[in-house]
Amino acid sequence: MITILHEQRVTTHPPVCHTHGDAGALWLNAPAIEAATGWQWKPEGLCHGDVCMPVPPSARAGWVRELPGQAPALNVAEMWRHSGQPVVHDQAGQTWVLGTGTAQRRAALETLEAPDFTLPDLAGSAHRLADYRGRKVFLATWASW
């Protein structure tokens, strides 16, 4: 199984095709891409809401694989890098991080809408920043180290 980390998502996926000799490739079909990242693979590209990142026509032959009897697969690692976002993985190619790029972070922060997140407290109860709408929030970090 392949584990993919993206933002706070952690998903596992069966490998969809052989990647021998291509350790930098991450092949996923459309349902896996959506589960792992929230992005939908459509004819126009990888889409999230109104935003679509087209698969470059020149790269399509290398980044899209038609698989007999299965859904086609996209090399998400290449698409992710192409969008200016970091992709890192362990040596075995079993655990991948599809990171968030500088442009994407900056765009989110420049809206000034405080990025939402959900985190547990010590008891395991989940707290979501958006649940505090209507109150001022003094968000403060600390650590034991």
CA distance 145 to 93: 31
**Closer residue to other proteins, CB minimum distance, 61 or 137:** 137
**Closer residue to other proteins, CB minimum distance, 22 or 116:** 116
Enumerate residues 6+ apart whose C-beta is below 8 A from 117. 8, 128, 129
Find out whether 53 and 42 touch, Cβ atoms under 8 Å. Answer: no
Find out whether 32 and 47 touch, Cβ atoms under 8 Å. Answer: no
Chain contacts with other proteins (rule: CB under 8 A): 3, 5, 7-8, 10, 84-91, 95, 97-102, 105-106, 108-110, 112-117, 119-122, 127, 129-130, 132-145
Element (H, E) at 12: strand 9-13
Min dist. Cβ of residue 77 to other proteins (A): 12
Min dist. Cβ of residue 28 to other proteins (A): 17
Residue 104's SS3 state is helix
Min dist. Cβ of residue 1 to other proteins (A): 12
Min dist. Cβ of residue 104 to other proteins (A): 9
**Closer residue to other proteins, CB minimum distance, 12 or 70:** 12
